[in-house]
Chains A and B, each alone.
Chain A
Amino acid sequence: MRRALLTGNEAIAEGALVAGCNFYVGYPITPSSEIMHYMAKELPKRGGIFFQAEDEIATINIAIGASWGGARVMTATSGPGFSLMQEGIGYAVMTETPLVVVNVMRAGPATGQATKPAQGDLMQARWGRHGDQVTPVLAPESPQECIELVIKAFAISEELRVPVIVLIDEFIAHMREVVKIPDKVKIPSRKRPKDHSQTPFGSPDPKIAPPMPPLGEGYYVLVTGSTHNERGYRDTRSFETHFKLVKRLWNKIWLNIDKLFNYEAWGIEDLEVSFVSFGSISRSVKKACRILRDKGIKAGYIRLKTLWPLKLEPLIKLSERSKIIIVPELNLGQLILDVERAIKSNVKVISYGKVGGGEPIYPSELVKLVIEVVKK
């Protein structure tokens, strides 16, 4: 265990290195570039590969090739680059390629405000690819958690053969905090087929990813983004093959939801006002809850560490206990859609969204909002 004063971006890079990442590919983009700088400095010294590609489309596809080549791969980007990577992430889902994609969110759409934070890519992280697919999305709230969740992202990606997305924003990317870095972590090593009879794209147990054959060892593996059978052969016409494949890829994640889903809750046993949030804004929520409790208002929160796949039960329970739920987020209202979907009672749900200019949501704003609503 080491202690260090790191920014979120540096913590992402440190977490990746601890997790055994030996291949980084990326393209410069604000506010994620420091992750790339860190890896550019560290990886060559350790005999790993650092590669600056010509664009983000090349980046994600190089990452996919490297992963099939046996490397433990990460890339990091920000909004516009993340948009360019979507097709490749979909290919990684279809071909069951482990890799970690970090998206440091900035204010969009388009070029937007490159240096300013936002949380507007929540829905894109979940649904950015065409077709039916599910990709795990993790959301740390601090540099410490950047380390922990990047390590977890690698573990999930290797175990389930799936790309995993880590969402942070410019606040976390550039805030500096003391972190504890573990010396070593255990990431499951990639499962290889026991023999040639084990199929690389089919698994008898829907919860378990099929083994991933290494290249160059006579498995003659066929990797394709087209619909394929268990052996990798294209079958672009039959209903059965397509349905079986996309359903298996879908179930592989959803059936493992207990392993994947994680959240933090505070003060939810006894409350009237609650908050649901993720990422940097949760820090203001925590402060606001403490202030409100001091003022005698029973406030609590749920903070989602896993944004996808999402378990609705905690939100349902919260909605049964609260009179008011406030959903503060650095966008115009995305997480609130989940809260509204989860509600089974007639609790009041308030969206509190703002974005741009590097404006955070201050604890005082939330306190003021709650007092106003409670008075009514």
Chain B
Amino acid sequence: MMLVEKHFSRKYLREETLPTLFCPGCFNGILINALSKAFEELGIEDLRKFVFVSGIGCSSWIPSPYIKADSLHTLHGRAIPVAIGVKLAKPELEVVVIAGDGDLASIGLGHLIHAARRNIDIVTILVNNYVYGMTRGQVSPTTPIGIKTPTTPYGTFEYPLDICKVIEATNANYVARWTIAHFKQLKDSIKDVLSKITRGFRFIEVVAPCMTYVSRRLGKTPVDTIKDLLRESIMINKFNVKKDKITVGIFKLEDKPGYIELYREYIRRAKLE
């Protein structure tokens, strides 16, 4: 009999829910792997002090049901408000939002900006797959120009949103963008927001094009897609910013007090009056 050691990530997952229901080649698996590696390297034994909050969409299934932790699978677009509620009521827990571009950059964009403005102490991972994958690949606010989708059958023409630039302009403590091809950097960013910068609003955008509704329609395999992502991205610290490139890197890294600390100070003042 051959003894096969369990993959290290299994202790962070609800094993009875595996295999996942994601499409063949879906990059959500790479993000789960990056999260697991980050937890492992930080020496986190289990996720009982974590609460994951997600919305409606493919990436929202990453925590619900696959990650073994408390999780709230909320209404479409409302992951951030629910996360705020949990964090304010139980500040000792690490609250992590995982949701897609439809959730966070479209229907829930207002919540995202206000949470970042307030520097609320939560981690937000936006999985940008360029489309509404769960509802069959309609155009989203982040779809690159020219792509054909069921609601832009002649190719998109709307300007897409650079969500990292938006969040950078608020009071968020941490803003980074990586593609799914930048595995190590992505994992290190996840470690950053859980160990290096542990307060305030921390935001990571992960570019992970939908295999089924973006890449495959363009005739690309997952491997082609990863190679293209590496080719098409450019580090933020280089001066030669080019159009049609995906700027990746850490956009912002600060350690200002987050909302929870500011509110505690506010309570202290209220009690004195």
Q: Which residues in A have some Cβ–Cβ distance to B below 8 Å?
A: 23, 25, 44-45, 47, 49, 51, 53-55, 57-59, 61-71, 73, 87-88, 91, 95, 215-226, 233-234
CB of A64 within 8 A of CB of B82, answer: yes
Residue among B46, B49, B83, B111 facing the most chain A CB atoms (10 A cut-off): B111
Pairwise interchain contact B270-A44, C-beta atoms closer than 8 A: yes
Question: In the complex, what's the smallest C-beta–C-beta distance from A97 to chain B, in angstroms?
Answer: 10
Q: Which residues of A contact B110 (CB under 8 A)?
A: 54-55, 58
Contact between B68 and A220 (Cβ–Cβ < 8 Å)?
yes
Question: What chain A residues lie within 8 Å of B72 (beta carbons)?
Answer: 65, 68, 95, 223-224
- The answer to whether A62 and B82 have CB atoms under 8 Å apart is yes
Say yes or no for B81: interface residue by CB 8 A criterion.
yes
Q: How far is the CA of A51 from the CA of B111 in the complex (A)?
A: 14
14 new A-B contacts at CB < 8 Å, known A23-B85, A49-B88, A63-B85: A45-B267, A51-B88, A54-B110, A54-B111, A59-B81, A62-B84, A69-B88, A70-B90, A219-B70, A221-B70, A221-B71, A222-B71, A225-B75, A226-B73
Distance, CA A258 to CA B140, complexed state (A):
50
Interface size class of B (residues with CB under 8 A): 35 or more
Tell me if B244 counts as interface (CB < 8 A to partner A). Answer: no
Write 17 A-B pairs (CB below 8 A) sorted by A numbering. A25-B85, A45-B270, A47-B267, A49-B89, A58-B110, A64-B82, A65-B72, A69-B85, A69-B86, A69-B89, A87-B75, A91-B74, A216-B48, A216-B51, A221-B70, A223-B72, A223-B73
Measured between beta carbons, the chain A residues less than 8 angstroms from B53 are 65
The CA-CA distance from A49 to B84 in the complex, in Å, is: 12
Q: Which residue of B lies closest to A90 (CB)?
A: B75
Whole-angstrom distance between the Cβ of A100 and the nearest chain B Cβ: 14
Known: A64-B85, A69-B88, A216-B51. Contact between A58 and B114, CB under 8 A?
A: yes
Give which listed residue, B14, B64, B85, B271, contacts A224 with CB less than 8 A.
Answer: B64
Interface majority SS (helix, strand, loop, mixed), chain A: mixed
Complex Cα gap A234–B63 (Å): 12
Are A88 and B70 closer than 8 Å at their CB atoms? no
Which residues of chain A are within 8 angstroms of B64 by Cβ–Cβ distance?
222, 224, 234
Tell me whether B239 is interfacial, beta carbon within 8 Å.
no
Q: Separation in Å of the A88 CB from the closest CB of chain B?
A: 7
Q: Does B93 contact A (CB under 8 A)?
A: yes
